[in-house]
Amino acid sequence: MTAGAARSRLSGDQLISERSLPASPERVWRAFTTPAGIAAFWGGSHATVPVGSVVVDLRPGGSFALDTRGPGGGGRRLEFVYVSVAAPRELVFDEPVTGLRTTVVLRPEPGGTHLTVHQRKLPPELRTAQAADGLASILDALATSLEDQ
């Protein structure tokens, strides 16, 4: 995959998004596993995440949580539980309320990292083009945050 915007595709209850990133797998891993890294990109173009709201317990069975804030000031708390942590190549976590499972795979490539985010067991309200665009926006925000470092 060449550099550029993230590409997402929906298939039933699954959403897959891919993006080439201008950083090593280790830097991308830190973005996904540290409070400052998560806060820098998680909201994509539609929300912000206060760094002080992010809590990370990086281990299988551990969790991470964050607050999102929309442009109008509204927000919500998101919480996830780590299933698998294999630095710096794969991270698997679940959203306990809906059962959504996210797998993040990092693969070295020339000039950076190929990132694949695969979400399974999407609830019906997330099986939309808007959700696919939202995930792509988050990965594009990740690329921007890595370029700014």
pLDDT for 50 equals 94
Q: Are 69 and 43 in contact (CB under 8 A)?
A: yes
- pTM value is 0.92
Edge to edge, what strands does the sheet with 14-21 contain?
7-11, 14-21, 112-120, 100-109, 90-95, 75-86, 63-69, 55-56
Domain residue extents for the chain: 7-148
Q: Are 15 and 137 in contact (CB under 8 A)?
A: no
Q: Please write the tens of the pLDDT for every residue from 6-18.
A: 889 999 999 999 9
pLDDT for 1 equals 39
Q: Please write the tens of the pLDDT for every residue from 55-104.
A: 999 999 999 999 999 888 788 999 999 999 999 999 999 999 999 999 99
Mean pLDDT for 11-31 is: 96
Q: Are 113 and 25 in contact (CB under 8 A)?
A: yes
Number of other residues whose CB lies within 10 A of the CB of residue 39: 20
Give the mean pLDDT of the chain: 93
Q: Hey, what's the torsion of the CAs at 67, 125, 132, 15, to 10 degrees?
A: 100
Mean pLDDT for 33-55 is: 93
Q: What class is the 7-148 domain?
A: alpha beta
